[in-house]
Chain A
Amino acid sequence: MKMRSSLGRVRGLGSAKDGVSHWWLQRLTAVALVPLCLWFVGSLIGQVGADQASVAAWLAQPCPAIVMILLAIATFYHAALGLQVVIEDYVASEGLRLVAIAAMKLACFALATAAVFAVLKLAL
């Protein structure tokens, strides 16, 4: 039995009005983060005990800088999507939920910008 209109079906956006984009981007960033996180842990182990000069020299190289920026973007995108679901699950009040999600997304955006800027400052 079809419960949806033909137009609703062809748009495929469902009740959330954004279709599967949240679900899909969460998986896409998850897949990207598998190699990025392994690189991240390996790299941080290599920086244990390093002073500012050697960390700066490391991130001044193109490859570590590029991968660190990719890691920051994927991490904060993935975190924003995940935290959004957590807030949606536990914050019952609609107004508070809207404010909490907006604040969280702005914080993720600001932190991602700070991370990218810091790497670029060292790299350029």
Chain B
Amino acid sequence: MATERATGRPRPLSPHLQIYRPQITSVLSILHRATGIALSVGTLMLVWWLVAAASGPAAFASAQGFITSWFGLLLLFGWTFALFFHLCNGIRHLFWDAGQGLEIKQVYASGWAVVAASGGLTVLAWIIGLAGRGS
């Protein structure tokens, strides 16, 4: 373009995430995609676990050994949050698809509700899971 040559500067490209102040709408939208990708990777763990269970005690022990390592537990905690977030925000998306809750005030309120619900459900699931481990 002529202007580009005249100024010698690259023209701004869109979307240009760096110059926008993060807002709950954009952050949750990005997080929805990020958790979706993370959960897709998590399916590898699920398939490993299922195939190991079908293969026998030795294979299952090595899968279980990875899951119960500190790194495995860290991944599992991340996937728990990713699952609850994607689930809760997915329900929010389904309401939008039905034409509900599209006023800006409602969008902000449902966004914070999703954050609270996914955080709360993650903590709850781990409390119940860790409590059940002892019995």
Contacts and interface: CB of A to CB of B under 8 A. Distances in A.
Contacts of A31: 94
B75 interface: no
Interface in B45-74: 46-47, 50-54, 56-57, 60-61
Contacts of A52: 52-53, 56-57, 60-61
Contacts of A51: 57, 60
Contact of B87 (A27, A34, A46): A34
**Looking at chain A's contact residues, is the secondary structure mostly helix, strand, loop, or mixed?**
helix
Contacts of A72: 46, 50
A31 B52 CA distance: 29
Contacts of A49: 132-133
Contacts, number: 85
A56 to B, nearest CB: 6
Contact of A45 (B46, B47, B90, B132): B132
**Looking at chain B's contact residues, is the secondary structure mostly helix, strand, loop, or mixed?**
helix
A102 interface: no
Contacts of B129: 44-45, 48
Interface string A55-75: 110010000000010001001
A76 B43 contact: yes
A45 B51 contact: no
Given A37-B83, A41-B125, A79-B40, A30 B94 contact: yes
Contacts of A118: 47, 50-51, 53-54
B43 A75 contact: yes
A53 B50 contact: no
B15 to A, nearest CB: 11
Interface in A83-111: 83, 86, 111
A23 B21 CA distance: 30
A25 interface: no
28 contacts: A27-B94, A27-B97, A30-B93, A34-B90, A37-B83, A38-B87, A46-B132, A49-B133, A51-B57, A52-B52, A52-B53, A53-B57, A55-B60, A59-B50, A59-B53, A68-B50, A75-B43, A86-B37, A111-B44, A114-B47, A114-B50, A115-B46, A115-B47, A115-B51, A117-B54, A118-B47, A118-B53, A119-B50
Given A49-B132, A49-B133, A52-B60, 7 more contacts: A37-B87, A45-B125, A79-B39, A83-B37, A115-B46, A118-B50, A118-B51
